[in-house]
Structure 1
């Protein structure tokens, strides 16, 4: 009795104990109407509007590591105490009407047995963090299907429902609303009379949105609630022609000089023909001298490229050049302010890997209600499309079917998906990607911290199956060198960064402004990195990794690498159409860096020639080979034989050491053999540049069985 009486002397009206003020986060306090205010005899007294509610009791007990006693108080008393501890901001405090609707939704679903107490508790906790609608949270976590939520909203708001699964739109009616407004609000006109338009909506529109729609339509309208997935598919059918046109031709029409739809420009053809004629003429008049000069030029190029990459590595080794984001900064993020994030996932013949992909995307530490995941499928890929439909994914996953047309490339699919994107930020992930769970939050923080002209944040790439065989180990060594050393050093020096094929995060509006990806360039990521640099924008690296599947068999690896090298050659040709313009936009350092990264792909074509000459000389001691390497040329070439191979091995070892993958360093000692594979792929890509420049060599994923 004495203890109870002593506890009762501690009153909420006396104020909240400063030591307990922030024991429970604001969102939970306001959502569950609780506030800890005193501690008596080791027990924390928590004011609660509903002291008998088991969910409230469980949520409070989970967050306080001491005995807890819920003490009933009025809502007004608790709200006043919370406002003292957390001064309210009008836009972030739930209105009485919104709270009533939320509680009505919760009661309707629990009383009908559609959700369990555990599911409701998880959803309420996420609501406390994000402020997103409770029903949307339940749907995103697959506690209830979208149709159940639409039925509940229909009853709460007294709005009629409409089914769109088999609906064939009248395109003239459906396009009365501008595409941008329809996409932003996810609404679509489905029928119209002279005086009224029937508008399918995923959720009841607020006053501001309703006014915008009425002004755009020029007519009153009535809202009909629709399933979000069905509505999304309807909007795609209505506007597919526009999306297809933009995704294929936008860059080519707006910035033709920056598009790879022409492989070699007229000026480049003339320069190449002149160079060949001069070389041929010199070869006729001074054959040996001409060959010696060519050997000297190639040796010099090898030297310059090796020194450049070696210098970049030395700058980055043992340092931290990325934009770093700490765990404390991530924990301190207010999820109520997180933007919508679009995730573009290009898929082709990837049905078998879909379950793993969905699992890994759902593992991202980001509110699912703020994800806009576009699963980009080609129209002729029935197996993948059918699998996605059969999985009945929640509405933050959007099936996007790209019309079958040429060129059939990843960048064209991404351009198509970008037209449908509603996120403030956008990122690309490939089908086999396993990004760090906190990567999206790190990118959000990084964008807030970096310079205003940074429009892209590139995460690191590496492989989850690096120990599968020698090829995957070499691949992992190469990625470690590229993403741990070379790219961070390039970013720190202000050089143009050729982006990786995945995990590059963009400000969506700036990406559209740049013309997005070139659908005719088969290494569209590297090209985009150069284009954004030329426009005065920059890329920042962040210390977050996405694990990919390294190709584990040689034919598959050759297909992928030949495409990359063909794309590097395309990118070099595109941006060297006007060397003076490139120099003026990137500066001398950027110009040199571009040529030593993109242009170095040509060196891979030369390797087999030198290897063949060396082998031939060893076995035949042919005199004409000795004549090709007189005096200084011989010593320079011999030095490059050792220096070049040393640098190549060193870079691969250094990259793995930087990442802490010490077990891979021994495989780097055999990496000159890997260089041979790269030259094989280079010649295949070079030939395709003229025979089939826009052909996208499909890389098969799922060869590794890692879970």
Structure 2
């Protein structure tokens, strides 16, 4: 439709019906200085300050599905009318100086041909939703480069620029500004004389920030504008030794009782030796009775674990125990209130999927200017580092090179990245993850609704390649059971939740308070979930799914699963160092839940033993085996055999049905074969607990051909 600037009898000064004025969102009205104010002969009259501006015309036409007519008014008239339709919140309305700077920036970039009208329109519409600087929005959407923006800011603010890409810092000078302040302000000294410090800054400092800097430096300073990516890399370089130390030993030194750096404490070793001697002596004196007792104890443990998981599943089946966030809730969200959100992405030997990872993050329904994406790479992973650098990513992506230091684990890399995090909330995504686009918004809304002691929101995990082969279908069945049934039921019951390794959203300050992840625990997510609970915090679930790549090859699957199970052993050993304290902090229900959850890893060790005994008896009718199962032991073991296997199959069927994955449900009937693989991995992990406890078994990603699409 065509719009024209004209005069009509209806006047803006006569007042604007609220319903009519709100045909356009508040942000659009204030950003473009437009307001629907009357209807004449079926045409909506729009007050505009710049009736000839093609961007304003297109924005209005796209959002009102009736004929419109643009009517020129002064900016002051329109602003006063908007204030009546949308009463302004304090501090939420752009000041005259801010508007002048924004318009000046836009005109500078468009008049020089650096930004097309279409690109500026996209940026202006996003600005109307978020209120973030128009230049930052253009850079985040790659309409211009960071260097172009720095040049424009330099001209606007009459400030000198400094290039840092090949700069070698004087560490003594660079460290004059304390690291916390350097991180918060994105500023670092690059040169100094007796009278003056030259300070590279990402953005001009305000008066309060400048006062903080001068006080910290103890000297006057002059600001130089710098490329944000180059400045970020320089700050990392200057303070890398500090980051390494904190990420490796902070938990071990501040909370040694919570660190898995010691696999077995002296007390645990002594207790284990005493129990072993006692069992050995009993076996010498009462050989058959001792064996019967061991079989009975193992059968009972097996039965308790099975019944507990069945009870959790039964509670969750057919119900909705997650914190509910609807599409309407997301649509009603004011993006101006959204916080900075840090995304930690640990990468190792994954250069091949970096491009897909970047596309996936850019597809998230969250303002890019409020994303703080840390791509965490190990120093020796040259291919991945060079791939990231070659992409020339906008500054909301941060390449973080973790110096080569032991232990070389994912939690240590996450600890390193957490020190650089600027977000009020943070989340971990793995390289191959495909989160639902609105997951960050869902998590943010959920945090506003849950109890005040909830410090973590866990999203669900499943797989995008579940139909690739039988192994991936089993893996998907297991994840459906775990994330659709078991974890929601545990959360609803207030039990300690062993977190999934990805898509867990945290309040950043709480995570730092707890010492973050244990770099020596190879299943750091489960351990952190228990520590959160012990400190009085809770975890809630949301109904949002992140799709991962299920391992499609048995050797790769064994490597991953053996590491997970080894970490469960570590977690149990750490938290059972002081059982009385654990009981007091978690209560009897939480204590029981923790032990039965961790016991599943020990049950997997028993499977081959019982299967071997059963097979030997069927083939040989060996009398000794029959003697091991007298009376009550036989009935307990029989219950274990039937109930345990039934529960395992039932849980996998129920999980896939709950998720609606009917195509792979039938594969759950073969789950006992999958259980055999799990036992294989459990024994590998158990042996490594003694031989190489901190070794991180690398899982290869990108084995599904569709992952590079």
TM-score past 0.5 threshold = yes
| Counterpart in the other structure of 1:337 | 337
CA RMSD of aligned residues (A): 1.1
Q: Distance in 2 between matches of 1:600 and 1:579?
A: 18
The residue matched to 2:675 in structure 1 has which SS? helix
| Counterpart in the other structure of 2:697 | 697
| Counterpart in the other structure of 1:355 | 355
Q: Distance in 2 between matches of 1:541 and 1:638?
A: 36
Is residue 162–residue 226 contact of structure 2 (8 Å, CA) maintained in 1? yes
Q: Distance in 1 between matches of 2:19 and 2:537?
A: 47
Q: Distance in 1 between matches of 2:627 and 2:214?
A: 83
What whole-Å deviation, never above 9, does each CA across 1:10-51 have from its counterpart, x for those lacking one?
A: 111111133312110111101100000001111000000001
Q: CA offset at residue 7 of structure 1?
A: 7.2
| Counterpart in the other structure of 2:67 | 67
| Counterpart in the other structure of 2:284 | 284
| Counterpart in the other structure of 2:200 | 200
Q: CA offset at residue 486 of structure 1?
A: 0.4
| Counterpart in the other structure of 2:585 | 585
| Counterpart in the other structure of 1:174 | 174
| Counterpart in the other structure of 1:325 | 325
| Counterpart in the other structure of 1:541 | 541
Is residue 349–residue 383 contact of structure 1 (8 Å, CA) maintained in 2? yes
Q: Distance in 2 between matches of 1:450 and 1:81?
A: 38
Q: Distance in 2 between matches of 1:39 and 1:387?
A: 56
Is residue 496–residue 529 contact of structure 2 (8 Å, CA) maintained in 1? yes
Q: Distance in 2 between matches of 1:208 and 1:467?
A: 57
Q: CA offset at residue 463 of structure 1?
A: 0.4
Q: CA offset at residue 89 of structure 1?
A: 2.4
The residue matched to 2:407 in structure 1 has which SS? coil
| Counterpart in the other structure of 1:236 | 236
Q: Distance in 2 between matches of 1:317 and 1:159?
A: 63
| Counterpart in the other structure of 1:421 | 421
Is residue 177–residue 213 contact of structure 2 (8 Å, CA) maintained in 1? yes
The residue matched to 1:649 in structure 2 has which SS? helix
Q: Distance in 2 between matches of 1:295 and 1:151?
A: 76
1:657 and 2:657 correspond: yes
Q: CA offset at residue 559 of structure 1?
A: 0.1
| Counterpart in the other structure of 2:220 | 220
The residue matched to 1:9 in structure 2 has which SS? coil
Is residue 305–residue 599 contact of structure 2 (8 Å, CA) maintained in 1? no
What whole-Å deviation, never above 9, does each CA across 1:44-99 have from its counterpart, x for those lacking one?
A: 00000001111100000111010011000011110110011111223111111111
| Counterpart in the other structure of 2:130 | 130
Q: Distance in 2 between matches of 1:260 and 1:571?
A: 8
Q: CA offset at residue 195 of structure 1?
A: 1.6
Q: Distance in 1 between matches of 2:275 and 2:440?
A: 49
What whole-Å deviation, never above 9, does each CA across 1:269-299 have from its counterpart, x for those lacking one?
A: 1110011001000000110110001000011
What whole-Å deviation, never above 9, does each CA across 1:435-469 have from its counterpart, x for those lacking one?
A: 01000001111111111111110000000000100
Q: Distance in 2 between matches of 1:576 and 1:41?
A: 78
Q: Distance in 2 between matches of 1:635 and 1:172?
A: 74
Q: Distance in 2 between matches of 1:140 and 1:302?
A: 54
| Counterpart in the other structure of 2:259 | 259
Cα distance change of structure 1 residues 162 and 471 upon mapping to structure 2, 3 Å threshold? same
Q: CA offset at residue 393 of structure 1?
A: 0.4
| Counterpart in the other structure of 1:402 | 402
1:84 and 2:84 correspond: yes
| Counterpart in the other structure of 2:248 | 248
Q: Distance in 1 between matches of 2:587 and 2:481?
A: 26
Q: Distance in 2 between matches of 1:167 and 1:694?
A: 37
Q: Distance in 1 between matches of 2:197 and 2:71?
A: 53
Is residue 174–residue 188 contact of structure 2 (8 Å, CA) maintained in 1? yes
Q: CA offset at residue 8 of structure 1?
A: 1.2
Q: CA offset at residue 218 of structure 1?
A: 1.6
| Counterpart in the other structure of 2:209 | 209
Q: Distance in 1 between matches of 2:123 and 2:657?
A: 43
The residue matched to 2:91 in structure 1 has which SS? helix
Q: Distance in 2 between matches of 1:373 and 1:546?
A: 17
TM-score where L is the length of structure 2: 0.98
Is residue 323–residue 541 contact of structure 2 (8 Å, CA) maintained in 1? yes
| Counterpart in the other structure of 1:186 | 186
1:454 and 2:457 correspond: no
Is residue 7–residue 40 contact of structure 1 (8 Å, CA) maintained in 2? no
1:50 and 2:50 correspond: yes
The residue matched to 1:13 in structure 2 has which SS? helix
Is residue 453–residue 536 contact of structure 2 (8 Å, CA) maintained in 1? yes
Q: CA offset at residue 214 of structure 1?
A: 1.4
Is residue 476–residue 550 contact of structure 2 (8 Å, CA) maintained in 1? yes
Is residue 318–residue 658 contact of structure 2 (8 Å, CA) maintained in 1? yes
Is residue 453–residue 537 contact of structure 2 (8 Å, CA) maintained in 1? yes
Is residue 460–residue 542 contact of structure 1 (8 Å, CA) maintained in 2? yes
Q: Distance in 2 between matches of 1:391 and 1:360?
A: 15
| Counterpart in the other structure of 1:573 | 573
| Counterpart in the other structure of 2:618 | 618
Q: Distance in 1 between matches of 2:288 and 2:526?
A: 39
Cα distance change of structure 1 residues 12 and 581 upon mapping to structure 2, 3 Å threshold? same
| Counterpart in the other structure of 2:275 | 275
The residue matched to 1:688 in structure 2 has which SS? helix
Q: Distance in 2 between matches of 1:670 and 1:149?
A: 59
What whole-Å deviation, never above 9, does each CA across 1:554-586 have from its counterpart, x for those lacking one?
A: 000000000000000000000001100100100
Q: Distance in 2 between matches of 1:296 and 1:655?
A: 30
Q: Distance in 2 between matches of 1:324 and 1:193?
A: 58
Structure 1 stretches of at least 4 aligned residues deviating more than 6 Å after TM superposition: 4-7
The residue matched to 1:189 in structure 2 has which SS? strand
| Counterpart in the other structure of 2:10 | 10
Q: Which ranges of structure 2 fall in alignment gaps of 5 or more residues?
A: none
Q: Distance in 1 between matches of 2:34 and 2:306?
A: 64
Q: Distance in 2 between matches of 1:617 and 1:222?
A: 85
Instruction: Count matched residues.
Output: 704
Is residue 376–residue 414 contact of structure 2 (8 Å, CA) maintained in 1? yes
The residue matched to 1:599 in structure 2 has which SS? helix
